[in-house]
Amino acid sequence: MQKEPAQKLLFVINPVSGGKAKQDWEEFIRNYFRDQPHSMEFFLLTGNNDSASVAHYIQTIQPDKIVAVGGDGTVKLVAEIIKGTEMTMGILPAGSANGMARELGLPIDKEEALNVILNGERRPIDAIEVNGEEICIHLADMGLNAMLVKYFDDSPGRGMWGYGRSIFKMLWNKRIIKATIQTDEGVLRRNAYMIVLANARMYGTGVTINPKGAIDDGQFEIVIVRRLNFWAVLKVLMNHRNFPEEHVEIVSAKRLHLKAKHRGYFQVDGEYRGRLREVRARILPHCLYLMLPKTSDL
């Protein structure tokens, strides 16, 4: 039998993701690899200049694979560092929702996820460059959902109670976005409650916003939520249903310049970015290499 080649793995761990203590993840990973030929290095995120520190560590140890151990924020941090390179990223889901991992068809089980990192299929995926400053792997949006992200971040209560309160506050304070949307195909003028830049299909809650989306097709979708029925939206958000097709308009694009009449709440991959009037975006085809299940169908 051919001996499995040894791999050098760097695990970038968010010690507070999903409420897990950092010792849990380190101990589990070390035990998993106890009788295997692979070598491991660990980097624990501190929240203080993490991107520069991780980039320096990667350059120093030259790992074969960099593994993000955390939620969507940890995945995004590592992806920002290695985008546009030949480096390979693995994902060990350790967050609360793990929206990106679910979208990519990655197993949530820890041992199965590590098996994919070692023995899965290396595949390229796209990302959206947003305002020339960051990438969006998953979903970015202006309007209702970004407002919900902001309210939930500021909420004193977490869990379903905090989420429910944030939803009602968002619906109470909702407002229409009057926007001009310029793409590589032309110009749209729309009034909408939410405008989504979708590289993927669904939010971490399981709500599908872009049914035909593919994360490796060289384009993204602009999803315009033009109509809003209070009870319909409440059902979508509370019961993880999909937005009714008659409420949305979907346009494929490679570039976007969004100009709103008034500042709108804006988020990228679950991170609130403030109230903006303009957003520029462009697709970065196959800019990131991930380890994915061999049977995955993005």
> Same structural domain for residues 79 and 107?
yes
* DSSP string for 238-295: HHTPPPPGGGEEEEEESEEEEEEEEEEEEEETTEEEEEEEEEEEEEEEEEEEEEE-TT
User: What's the rounded mean pLDDT across residues 190-217?
Assistant: 88
> Same structural domain for residues 147 and 254?
yes
pLDDT of residue 255 exceeding 80: yes
Single out the residue in 92, 119, 146 at which a domain terminates.
119
User: What's the rounded mean pLDDT across residues 165-170?
Assistant: 70
Any domain includes 167: yes
User: Collapsing DSSP states into helix, strand and coil, what is residue 236?
Assistant: helix
Any domain includes 225: yes
Which range among 109-113, 161-165, 190-194, 209-213 shows the weakest confidence by mean pLDDT?
161-165
Q: How far apart are CA 14 and CA 71, in angstroms?
A: 8
88-104 per-position pLDDT tens digit: 999 999 877 777 888 88
Taking every pair of Cα atoms in the chain, the longest distance, rounded to a whole number of angstroms, is: 66
Any domain includes 92: yes
Confidence of residue 222 (pLDDT cuts 50, 70, 90): very high
pLDDT of residue 247: 79
Any domain includes 291: no
> Same structural domain for residues 279 and 151?
yes
107-134 per-position pLDDT tens digit: 989 999 999 999 999 999 999 999 999 9
Q: How far apart are CA 13 and CA 227, in angstroms?
A: 41
> Same structural domain for residues 167 and 93?
no
Any domain includes 21: yes
User: How many domains is the chain built from?
Assistant: 2
> Same structural domain for residues 147 and 246?
yes
CATH number at residue 182: 2.60.200.40
Confidence of residue 170 (pLDDT cuts 50, 70, 90): confident
Average pLDDT, the chain: 87
Q: For residue 7, what is the DSSP state? A: -
pLDDT: which is higher, 222 or 244:
222
Domain that holds residue 225: 134-285
pLDDT of residue 18: 57
Any domain includes 294: no
Buried b (16+ CB within 10 A) or exposed e, 263-273: ebbbbbbbbbb
Which range among 83-87, 155-159, 252-256, 289-293 shows the weakest confidence by mean pLDDT?
155-159
For residue 295, the tally of other CB atoms under 10 A from its CB is 8
Single out the residue in 119, 151, 168 at which a domain terminates.
119
> Same structural domain for residues 270 and 139?
yes
- Smallest CA-to-CA distance from 68 within 125, 25, 19 is with 25
4-38 per-position pLDDT tens digit: 689 999 999 988 765 544 458 889 999 999 989 99
> Same structural domain for residues 148 and 39?
no
CATH number at residue 94: 3.40.50.10330
Q: How far apart are CA 256 and CA 19, in angstroms?
A: 37
pLDDT of residue 95: 74
- Smallest CA-to-CA distance from 242 within 216, 274, 208 is with 208
> Same structural domain for residues 33 and 81?
yes
pLDDT: which is higher, 169 or 136:
136
pLDDT: which is higher, 125 or 230:
125
Single out the residue in 94, 119, 144 at which a domain terminates.
119
Q: Tell me the percentage of the chain whose pLDDT exceeds 90.
A: 61
30-74 per-position pLDDT tens digit: 999 998 999 999 999 998 999 999 999 999 999 999 999 998 889
Contact in structure between 100 and 138 (CB atoms under 8 Å): yes
Buried b (16+ CB within 10 A) or exposed e, 110-119: beebbebbbe
> Same structural domain for residues 108 and 70?
yes
Q: Read off the amino acid at residue 215.
A: I
Any domain includes 218: yes
> Same structural domain for residues 142 and 242?
yes
pLDDT of residue 31: 93
Instruction: Give this prediction's pTM.
Output: 0.87
pLDDT of residue 296: 46
Any domain includes 2: no
* DSSP string for 139-205: EEEEEHHHHHHHHHHH-S--HHHHHHHHHHHHHHT---EEEEEEETTEEEEEEESEEEEESSSB-TT
> Same structural domain for residues 174 and 45?
no
pLDDT of residue 297: 46
> Same structural domain for residues 139 and 279?
yes
Question: Residue 253: which residues within 8 A CB-CB, separation 6 or more?
Answer: 183, 184, 185, 219, 220, 221, 222, 283
pLDDT: which is higher, 167 or 222:
222
